[in-house]
Structure 1
Amino acid sequence: MAVRMTRRAAVVGLIGTLAVSGAGLAGAAGPAAADHVKPSEPPPKMPVATGHGGAVATVDADATAAGLEMLRRGGTAADAAVAAAAALGVTEPFSSGIGGGGFFVHYDARTGKVETLDGRETAPASATDQLFVDPDTEEPLGFLDARVSGLSVGTPGSLATWEEALERWGRHSLARNLRPAVELAEDGFVVDETFRSQVEANIAIFADFPATAELYLPGGAPPAVGTTLTNPDLADTYRVIARHGVDVFYEGPIADDIVATVQEPPLGDDATRVVRPGDLTTDDLAGYEVVERDPTMVEYRGLQVYGMPPPSSGGSTVGEALNILESFDLAAMDEATALHHYLEASALAFADRNRYVGDPDAVDVPLEELLSQGFADERVCLLDSAAAAVKPVAPGMPDGDYAGCAPAAADAHAVDDAGSTTHLTTADRWGNVVAYTLTIEQTGGSGITVPGRGFLLNNELTDFNFVPTQGSAPDPNLPGPNKRPRSSMAPTIVLDDGEPFLAVGSPGGATIIGTVLQTLINRIDRGMDLPGAIAAARLTQPNSRNTSAEPAITDGLLGDALVGFGHTLVRTAEIGAATGIEVLDRKLLQAAAEPVRRGGGSAGVLIPQRWPRP
């Protein structure tokens, strides 16, 4: 079932009124960010917290604090998620923000239902399958040319998602939930090494756009670690939204500013970069809809694992891989053998993801069959417990006719979609739980900041395939009018006999699926607690010739053992940055975040446990 929540009609006179007030706010934004830099100490980060009354886990201490503030004021898990997400738009703007979108998975303690909101960005109504094909050469654009352009910008869905989530499951208004983020943008946050390095990686792009450079290149260089960075333009933008509602973003002066920025990217006078304009219109923004979709669900070891359905491939790919692994006793295996099975199941599921998953409103996705145990049992036949298959493996045929082993379909295809996102997890005193993954796609998105508004625009449309990749078969992920690009985001909620057990998710492009899948296996099969499952060394196999693995694996005996199975390991500094919450006995909550990756995450509970859990 897909239920669309349409934008409300604009308030009469809103656009004219806010065109004046918005311009006034932009003009009164105060000094540039560089004038607000001062030495400071970053807030402490605790990667694990156990207690009662509610919990929040994010990659950032300020965002976790914002979520906890909402819980402290009687808010729900949805309130905490929105407040934390808004704060991340300030402190982690290169991975999230109101210029992007995401997927929101919610467990309702009152009804016992898991529900999802699809806040994915959409292509303009004018988009065709030639969106990223150069009309002069008839060749696909290079990725960087596509990314840093108006072509890559989809209609943002985050604000509409926040509004819908609060209307359904919140206790506070959007304005109340935005307050911590407004204060954070106004007063500033402490720059850490991760933030500085992300700016440094984008310096050539950011420098070409004056509004981006003013924010993130104070004095012409990345901000120093330990300094405090403000974003007065974003504070004012949040205030305008708080005062006048989300319509001002989708139908008012902010929408006008977004469209102007996309259609005429505001390059600096000295920039030599060719930046192609996009065709996003005010009608595209006004017509944006959040879609409620039925979650994916598979049974695994007696647990119910719920995920995000297409256009996300997270729920279907994690679910199919778990169905494949159900045939094996991972708990009885040594570590290398268990991880070998994980990698092979991941490759098989990714092959099917690449062949069949796209926007279900534009293509026919055989989701029920992809998640059926019969299809998984056919795929199991291709998993050799003693040796790795040659990658990429071919997809299967989820046709409903399953009888033992079946031949693979043609057209094997690997996936190599990079990107950056952020994930947060919340729970409240009533037992509601949220797993929310949000993004602007590449670290830094398109690199283009909306002048006077303080937020970066996404480059989500580069998640489409630029040209067909499936040979003679239809490609489900080509651009199209109002189409949503396929995603790897995998916010996941696990129930035990209908009661919350675990919620988890991660950033990391295509590696998200492997991170979530491996974390679930670590916790459910390999006897780790949630903090250990998140902290454990990772490796990921998205149906590619090489398997990415962290140094703790490649540089030790475990790596040697996996190479012995036939896996080709490529050393990768870090994979993912997960957060999660587990419900322990007597409704005790344990929140966990990355202890090291991406600078470490931040977990918090409303009422900390006063003594160790026996």
Structure 2
Amino acid sequence: MRFSVNWRVLALSLLLAGGSAFAADGSPKAAPPAPAHAGSLRPGHAAVASANFHATEAGLEVLAKGGNAFDAAVAVASTLSIVEPESSGTGGGFMAVLHLAKDGRDVFIDARETAPAAVNPRDYLNPDGSPNRDAALRGPLSAGIPGQPAGLALLSGRYGRLPLAQSLAPAIRIARDGFQPDERLRGAIAGTQKDLERWPASAAKYLPGGKPPAKGAVWRDPDQARTLELLAAHGHDGFYRGETAQKLVDAVRAAGGNWTLADLTGYQAKERTPISVDYRGYKIVTAPPPSSGGVAIAEILNILSGYDLTKMDAATRAHYIIEAMRRAFRDHNDYLGDPDFVQMPLDMLLSPYYAAGLRQGILPDKATPSSMLPRAEAPEPGMHTTHFSIIDADGNMAAVTSTVNYTMGSGFVAAGTGVLLNDEMDDFALVPNKPNVYGLLGSAANAPKGGKRMLSSMSPSIVIGPGRTAVIGSPGGSTIITQVLEGILHFIDGESAQQIAAHKRFHHQYLPDVVKVEDGTFDAATSEALTKMGYTLKPRESWGFMNVVTWDREANKLDAASDPRRPSGLGKVQ
């Protein structure tokens, strides 16, 4: 699919002949080198930060057995599938930015879900042509082909030191022996109980005795333990072929879905070149499409590079950041999709010349109305993803964001597997220019097609500065992009891992034309100043859960922090 040429492309076509981040064929060029001596040290110890202490401890356990950051990532991700299924899991997918200490190379792993070959957009429409939210968000039609198992096998086989079985062992043990679900998981099950009751295997797994697990109860997941054991024994084929694959297809088709064995056997996790952008002496390595996050973060930073935010009062600083967010999200809606299916004007979007042009349209004391290109409004974005950050003793790094999309994914458990399927089909533009559950719009670039990856906001990132390094990411639907952006800016301002994870946040995504604000982000004077500029500030309660690991290379000190908004998270230095 090709985009027709528009005024933005024409106006910049002559300026983009050189210095872009992408080659003429649309593939990423090699990232610029890291700042001097960024890879010349090794920490000598390791740190893991995740949203659940079981997962953090699983990662540290694998590191203690001789594994590296990538083995630990397998342990953390698979354990989160057991203890945090409301946010991620075996039935979902992930995106990861890796830094390889041995040769200084940065790698992006794309384990995003794909549409089944038989996808039909009409299945997601009501008779009147409006979006059918139930089909897009609940049940087997909402589920893309999972990518996480393939991604874990790739991580282990290509970059790990240990056998896959050893890295999966903590998750398998916890699934078999059981654990006590935390308040957030019990609340997620209670909040989706009516949906879970629609499918017998879902009710049997998550509603023992007909209700959510009680506080303090030990909960076991033997079916998923068996699924992980097959993955451990047979690698990629242990999930995408044989016993597990057959059970998945049988369960999905029996409930009205359209998966085939060919959809599973054809799935492959992919290695791509990450996006890299330089901002004020810092190198930010982040996610390329099918993530929209890295492109948006790079575009925002390119716009902000024309200002010195450190010399601004709080209201002026927020004003320029919001306006940069607004413009990046407009482009997010128009252009981005799966790079294997869509040609995107990435040269333009990532160009400093394009950013300079956008900067010229920002007034110093007035908000720019998004109504110049009106769109539909949409519901609140959610917090149904997870992120973890790892640095090992050798300086290998993993920034991994994993998801099943909305709370408890599709709500559909494939009988006999223990696998809760995602509802990532909603991340396609199922109905062009109609918002998805996170309020994001899409064009034909993100239309569903068999084998295609849906666009994602996941933005795992690594930041390398003159003396400090950070591994950072967050869940949060469309707010992932702005939360990670703000975390990067706070890191550049010199804040610690704990300060970054705890920092108050704000968000603007072009449409709806409001600034979502966490309580305490702005004082009264700043809020009044922004309101006078023309901004509508809207309180939003749900934020997080960011997990950050930092490395002060000059002091050779690691620091790890989990978002204080979630008490069950843990950032720990080993």
TM-score > 0.5 by shorter chain: yes
Partners of 1:133 and 1:144 in 2: how far apart?
10
Mean CA deviation greater in 217-226 or 438-447: 217-226
- Aligned with 1:529 (options 470, 493, 496): 496
| Candidates 390, 400, 412, aligned match of 1:426 | 390
Task: Kindly indicate whether the alpha-carbon contact (under 8 Å) linking 2:424 and 2:454 is maintained by their aligned counterparts in 1.
Answer: yes
Q: Which runs of 5+ in 1 are unaligned?
A: 4-50, 266-276, 395-410, 607-614
Identify the match of residue 315 of structure 1 among 289, 294, 312: 294
Q: Does residue 148 of the first structure (1) align with residue 138 of the second (2)? A: yes
Residue number among 94, 102, 107 corresponding to 1:115 in the alignment: 107
In structure 1, the residue corresponding to 2:110 is in which secondary structure? strand
Residue in structure 2 matched with residue 226 of structure 1 by the alignment: 216
Moved more, 209-218 or 78-87: 209-218
* Aligned counterparts of 2:388 and 2:168: Cα–Cα separation in 1: 16
TM-aligned CA deviation for residue 205 of structure 1: 0.6
1:599: Cα distance to partner?
3.7
| Aligned pairs (5 A) from 1:407-556 | 418=382, 420-469=384-433, 475-496=444-465, 501-525=469-493, 527-544=494-511, 545-553=513-521, 556=524
Instruction: Report how far residue 128 of structure 1 moved.
Output: 4.4
| Counterpart Cα distance in 2 of 1:554 and 1:574 | 16
- Asked if residue 289 in structure 1 is aligned to residue 268 in structure 2, the reply is yes
User: Counterparts of 2:382 and 2:314 in 1: how far apart (Å)?
Assistant: 28
* Separation in structure 2 between the aligned mates of residue 144 and residue 557 of structure 1, nearest angstrom: 43
Deviations 1:297-348 (A, max 9, x none): 1110111111111110010001100111111111111222212221111111
- What residue number does 1:280 align with? 259
Native 8 Å contact 2:71 2:156 kept in 1: yes
- Distance in structure 2 (CA, Å) of the matches to 1:117 and 1:76: 16
The whole-number CA distance in structure 2 between the counterparts of 1:415 and 1:312 is 21
Q: 1:554–1:569: 8 Å Cα contact kept in structure 2? A: no
Matched residue type, 2:497: L
The one-letter code matched in structure 1 to 2:403 is T
1:159 to 139, 142, 149: 149
User: What is the one-letter code of the residue matched to 1:570?
Assistant: K
- AA of the residue aligned to 1:321: I
Could you tell me the TM-score, scaled by structure 2's length? 0.87
Q: CA deviation at 1:107?
A: 0.3
| TM-score of the pair, normalised by structure 1 | 0.82
Q: 2:171 aligns with which of 158, 173, 181?
A: 181
Partners of 1:151 and 1:557 in 2: how far apart?
Answer: 49
1:564 Cα deviation after fit: 2.9
Opposite residue 102 of structure 1, the aligned amino acid is F
The amino acid across from 2:473 in the alignment is: G
Separation in 2 of the partners of 1:372 and 1:89? 38
Distance 1:555 1:258, change over 3 A: farther
Percent of aligned positions that are identical: 38
Q: Which of 228, 232, 243 does residue 238 from structure 1 map onto? A: 228
Q: Distance in 2 between matches of 1:320 and 1:128?
A: 33
Cα displacement string for residues 266-292 of structure 1 (whole angstroms, at most 9, x for unaligned residues): xxxxxxxxxxx2211100100001111
Q: How many residues align?
A: 526
Closer, same or farther: CA 516–194 of 1 in aligned 2, 3 Å: same
Equivalence for 1:591: 560
- In structure 1, what is the equivalent of residue 284 of structure 2? 305
SS at match of 1:151: helix
Aligned residue type for 2:57: A
Contact conserved, 2:517 with 2:539, CA < 8 A, in 1?
A: yes
| 1:448 maps to amino acid | F
Contact (CA 8 Å) 1:539, 1:550: kept in 2 or not? yes
Please tell me whether residue 326 in structure 1 is matched to residue 318 in structure 2: no
**After alignment, is 255-264 or 561-570 more displaced?**
561-570
Q: Give the counterpart letter for 1:533 in structure 2.
A: I
Using the TM superposition, name which of 291-300 and 227-236 deviates more. Answer: 227-236
Residue identity in the other structure for 2:284? V
Tell me if structure 2 keeps the 8 A contact 1:550–1:572. Answer: yes
Verify: 1:563 aligned to 2:531, yes or no: yes
Gapped regions of structure 2 (runs ≥ 5): 1-25, 29-42, 436-441
Cα distance in 2 for partners of 1:312, 1:415 equals: 21
**Other-structure match for 1:202:** 192
Given that 1:577 and 1:594 are in contact with CA atoms closer than 8 Å, whether structure 2 keeps it comes out as: yes
How far apart, CA to CA, are the structure 2 residues paired with 1:132 and 1:367?
A: 30
The AA in structure 2 aligned to 1:432 is: N
CA distance in 1, matches of 2:429, 2:75: 33
SS of 1:241's equivalent in the other structure is: helix
Decide whether the 8 Å contact of 1:348 with 1:393 is kept in 2. Answer: no
Q: Deviations over 1:332-365 (max 9, x none)?
A: 1122221222111111101011101111111111
